[in-house]
Amino acid sequence: MNSPDPFQAALATASLPAEWQVEVAIRPRRRHLGLQVNPGGAVLVLVPPAIDPRLITWFVTCKRQWLTEKVKIATQLAPDHPLKEFVDGEEFQLYGARYRLQFVDRAPAGIEQLAAFAPDGILYVRRQSPARVRQAIIMLYRQIGLAWVRLSTLLEL
């Protein structure tokens, strides 16, 4: 059995709360059923490939109290800010100022390197894959943060 569909159907009979996000993940190396509660409260049921779907219903029903507690904790600990999607116009903040993300193929006049925060409220980033955009923005924040720490350290001397 390599499809999670029969397992999802079995979970539907467990009468779990509708607001819970429950998914099944088939793990070929697993020997036993497992549960994982991710940040934000999403539940992942870890399933070995050759198991009776009815056993999943029984297992989740038996662990319902534990799941309820863990989902509540994971939901409370979830970040209260939306995750960045790295799309044109998305907003970023630095030192209380807001900057809108704009993808470019080359640096505009007056901008030495990409990624860069511009005085006109734009965060310029080279057009590339979302993962590389994310990394470029992280490196920019890191560079600015390290410069701030160095300056703060010099001012304390």
How high is the pLDDT of residue 6? 83
Q: Quick one: pLDDT band at residue 91, thresholds 50, 70, 90?
A: very high
Average pLDDT of the residues in 89-100: 94
How high is the pLDDT of residue 1? 44
Tokens encoding 143: 């560079």
Overall pTM surpassing 0.85 (yes/no): no
Average pLDDT of the residues in 21-48: 91
Average pLDDT of the residues in 29-33: 92
Determine the Cα–Cα distance for residues 134 and 108; give it in Å rounded to an integer: 20
**Of 2 and 59, the one with more pLDDT:** 59
Closest CA to 12 of 1, 2, 23: 23
Determine the Cα–Cα distance for residues 101 and 91; give it in Å rounded to an integer: 6
Determine the Cα–Cα distance for residues 110 and 79; give it in Å rounded to an integer: 36
